[in-house]
Structure formats: structure tokens, C-alpha cells
Amino acid sequence: MILHDFLPSGNGYKIRLTCAKLGLYYQLKEYDITQGDTRTEAFLALSPNGKIPVLELDDGHCLSESNSILLYLAEAHQSDLLPNDPLDKAEVTKWLFWEQYSHEPNIASVRFWLTHNAMTELKEKMLPERIQQGHAALTLMDDQLSKQDFLAGNRLTLADICLFAYTHVAEEGGAYQLSDYPNVQRWIQDIQAQNWFIPITHRQ
């Protein structure tokens, strides 16, 4: 497999973490999204939406959308990261959908704007509301993690890998302080303590 990725990307990091958990080898091909590397004709042939990550399988099939790739990897390798029971599976996938709608736009986008000199007049106007919604997302996670070890129960699943990626770097840019969310902090430490854990800067 070839993973087409941008190392600081939490969306790509989800895939790298999942591969680390499953013991899967991949070739990493890096792109700098700040320099337009994913807008070239060659990259758009892999991913018409011009976004990373893209997982290129050994047969040449290309998968895009990070959470779709997570589901593929877990199902293709029959991983316990995704339960077999339909109700338990729905509890996991619920978090994957929530991450893209309520978490990633407010945590990840704010981080990118503030750390990659990506602010515009429009984004300046949007920033306070995004930060407010980001706090709401972290509060929801903190409440959930006060009741159980992991987001979808008491064992680690795709829900945790998905949400960990951008949550653990939420402080970058200065918009959030994770010390305000002690249960989230405990959960981050629990994931970092896994024997397969790799940091976001890791190159396989």
C-alpha cells in the first residue's frame, strides 16, 4: 500500500495510527498541501477532490476520505477496532460521523488557520464561533469519557483513533487548553501508552 499524506494532517494520522495498531506496512508518499502539491494533475488522478489522505492499494485502487479508509482497514483486516454487533458498530460509526461534522471543522480547521498563516478576513469573522463550537465538542467528549474508558465503551475502537488525531494537538495555535478537559487528557494518555502508539511526526 502507498499512503499519500501530509505529515501534520490529523486525517492522515488516523490512517497511520490504524496501520500501527494493525501491524500493516505502507509506503509513505508525502505532499505539502500548503504549496499546492495536491492540486497537480498527477495527484488529482488519484483523488479528484485534491485532498489527502489517499490510500493506494496494491491493486491500484485508491481510497479517499479518512474515516472511510478507517472503516475499510478495520473490516478488511477483521479488527476488533470495529465491533461485529450492529448496535455496537453503530456506536462506533456515530463518532466517526460526528467527528467530521462537529469536531474536525472546529478543532482541526482552527488549528490549521492559526498554525499555517491561513487566516483571511472571512476566517477572522468565523473564528470565535468555531472556537465556541470546538469547546462544545471537547465538553461532550469529556462528559462521555467521565463515564467510560473510551468513547464507544470500555475498549479502544476506531472512534478513539478517529477523535484522538486532532484532539491531542488541539492546543496548537492557542485556541484551546486541554487542561480544561481532564477526562480527555486521561484518555489521550491512555492511547499514548499503547504499545503500538506512534506520534503524529512518525515516519514508518
Q: What is the pLDDT of residues 101-119, one digit of tens each?
A: 999 999 999 998 888 777 7
Judgement on whether residues 41 and 95 belong to the same structural domain of the protein: no
Q: Can you give the pLDDT at residue 117?
A: 77
Q: Can you give the pLDDT at residue 23?
A: 96
| Confidence bin at 202 (pLDDT 50/70/90) | confident
Judgement on whether residues 127 and 169 belong to the same structural domain of the protein: yes
> Which residues span the domain enclosing 66?
2-76
In-domain check, residue 139 = yes
| Confidence bin at 204 (pLDDT 50/70/90) | confident
Mean pLDDT of 27-40: 92
C-alpha torsion 72→76→82→86, nearest 10: 90
Judgement on whether residues 99 and 49 belong to the same structural domain of the protein: no
Judgement on whether residues 52 and 95 belong to the same structural domain of the protein: no
Residue carrying the nine cell digits 486541554: 178
Q: Which SS3 state, helix, strand or coil, does residue 143 take? A: helix
Judgement on whether residues 96 and 183 belong to the same structural domain of the protein: yes
Q: Which residues pair with 63 in a beta bridge?
A: 55
| Confidence bin at 63 (pLDDT 50/70/90) | very high
In-domain check, residue 22 = yes
In-domain check, residue 126 = yes
Q: E strands of the chain, at which residues?
A: 2-5, 27-30, 54-56, 62-64
Last residue of a domain, one of 22, 56, 76: 76
DSSP state of 122: H
Phi-psi region of 177 (alpha: psi -120 to 50; beta: other; left: phi over 0): beta
In-domain check, residue 47 = yes
Judgement on whether residues 30 and 101 belong to the same structural domain of the protein: no
Pairing label, strands 2-5, 27-30: parallel
Q: Quote the Cα angle for 112-115-121, to 5°.
A: 70
pLDDT at 67 over 80: yes
Judgement on whether residues 71 and 103 belong to the same structural domain of the protein: no
Over the stretch 169-186, which tens digit does the pLDDT of each residue have?
A: 999 988 999 999 999 999
pTM of the model: 0.93
Q: E strands of 6-128, at which residues?
A: 27-30, 54-56, 62-64
Judgement on whether residues 54 and 93 belong to the same structural domain of the protein: no
Which is nearest to 115 in space by CA: 9, 3, 5, 4? Answer: 9
In-domain check, residue 9 = yes
In-domain check, residue 201 = no
CA distance 33 to 52: 8
Over the stretch 118-151, which tens digit does the pLDDT of each residue have?
A: 778 998 898 999 999 999 999 999 999 999 999 9
For residue 156, which amino acid is it? Answer: L
**CATH number of the domain residue 18 falls in:** 3.40.30.10
Q: State the chain's mean pLDDT as an integer.
A: 94
Which is nearest to 27 in space by CA: 53, 66, 65? Answer: 53
Q: How many domains does the chain have?
A: 2
